[in-house]
């Protein structure tokens, strides 16, 4: 069956791309499902291979399709979106997206922190902190490695406590009755390799979102320094911008 594309001066590749996009949105093609081959699409739409390849390439760039060399082209699974502006936990993010959160605790111990963490937490040398390293899962698939350093004076006996729904923030709020007031967060591109790449299911060095967060209590004390790796093929950040600053840079 061929499709009667518009005769208006709209490139055929663009019309094909929008037709495929609609099928993805309408769940004609489901996430992780392969789409028809290039040859099948040529016959179905009565277009050239160049047209098919251009449409597919654009959809790959848009994040809707994933090409696996030697295997085929698949519908990408939608990324987990975090809208910047509120303090969140990864558990809450996943639940809000209708996904099943999971946690594997990799480390729970008392340590002397790395020097940069000690300075950020304004601790004297030799003072120990609680280190909690977790592998976060979404629908049983690894998506992030979270390493939290916590002021042990504020969370006595944390190593022996069962976390509330495996959520650190819910544990801090509901068991220790702490108020998480604000965070400073830096997000940048990075790479992981070795053990961390294997934990994230990448199998080889790969790109990640590197997140550094300092979480403050309502008395301005730092409760947590977080270093995290988020799979960049699973997460994206979204921020709403409003208004203009009259051209001033502050």
Domain boundaries, the chain: 12-75, 80-238
Can you say how many angstroms the Cα of residue 67 is from the centroid of all Cα atoms in its chain? 20
Paired sense of beta strands 235-238 and 80-83, if any = parallel
Single pTM value for the model: 0.69
What CATH code is assigned to 12-75? 1.10.10.10
Cα distances from 243 to residues 83, 196, 213, 239, 246, in angstroms, run 18, 40, 26, 13, 9
Contact at 8 Å (CB) between 114 and 129? no
Closest Cα to residue 152, out of 223, 213, 215?
223
Which pLDDT value is given to residue 160? 92
Which pLDDT value is given to residue 40? 93
Cross-strand partners of 210: 188, 229
Residue 228 DSSP SS3: strand
Closest Cα to residue 12, out of 3, 22, 21?
3
C-alpha 163/C-alpha 134 separation (Å) is 12
Closest Cα to residue 178, out of 82, 87, 83, 85?
87
Class of domain 80-238: alpha beta
Residue 63 DSSP SS3: coil
Closest Cα to residue 39, out of 27, 29, 28, 47?
47
pLDDT tens digit at each of 250 positions of the chain: 556 565 567 888 999 999 998 898 888 988 888 999 999 999 999 999 999 999 999 888 877 888 877 778 988 876 666 666 667 676 666 665 567 888 999 999 999 999 999 999 999 999 999 999 999 998 888 999 999 999 999 999 999 999 988 889 999 999 999 999 999 999 999 999 999 999 999 988 989 999 999 999 999 999 999 999 998 887 777 777 677 666 555 5
- For residue 200, give every residue at least 6 positions away whose Cβ sits within 8 Å of its Cβ, in sequence order, or none: 135, 142, 143, 144, 145, 192, 206, 208, 229, 231
């Amino acid at each position: 069956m061929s499709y009667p594309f518009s005769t208006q001066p709209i490139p055929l590749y663009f019309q094909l791309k929008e037709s495929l996009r609609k099928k993805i949105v309408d769940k004609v093609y489901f996430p992780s499902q392969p789409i028809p081959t290039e040859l099948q699409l040529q016959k179905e739409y009565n277009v050239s291979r160049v047209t098919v390849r251009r449409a597919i390439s654009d959809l790959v760039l848009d994040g809707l399709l994933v090409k696996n060399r030697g295997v085929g082209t698949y519908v990408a699974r939608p990324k987990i979106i975090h809208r910047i502006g509120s303090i969140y936990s990864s558990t809450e993010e996943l639940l809000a997206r209708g996904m099943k959160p999971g946690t594997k605790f990799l480390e729970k111990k008392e340590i002397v922190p790395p020097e940069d963490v000690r300075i950020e937490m304004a601790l004297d040398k030799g003072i120990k902190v609680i280190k909690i390293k977790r592998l976060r899962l979404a629908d049983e698939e690894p998506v992030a490695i979270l390493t939290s350093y916590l002021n042990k004076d504020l969370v006595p006996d944390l190593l022996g406590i069962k976390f509330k729904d495996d959520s650190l923030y819910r544990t801090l709020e509901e068991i220790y009755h702490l108020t998480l007031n604000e965070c400073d967060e830096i997000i940048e591109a990075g790479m992981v390799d070795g053990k961390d790449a294997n934990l994230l299911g990448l199998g080889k060095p790969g790109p990640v979102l590197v997140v550094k967060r300092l979480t403050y209590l309502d008395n301005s004390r730092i409760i947590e320094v977080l270093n995290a790796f988020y799979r960049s093929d699973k997460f994206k950040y979204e921020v709403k911008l409003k208004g203009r600053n009259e051209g001033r840079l502050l």
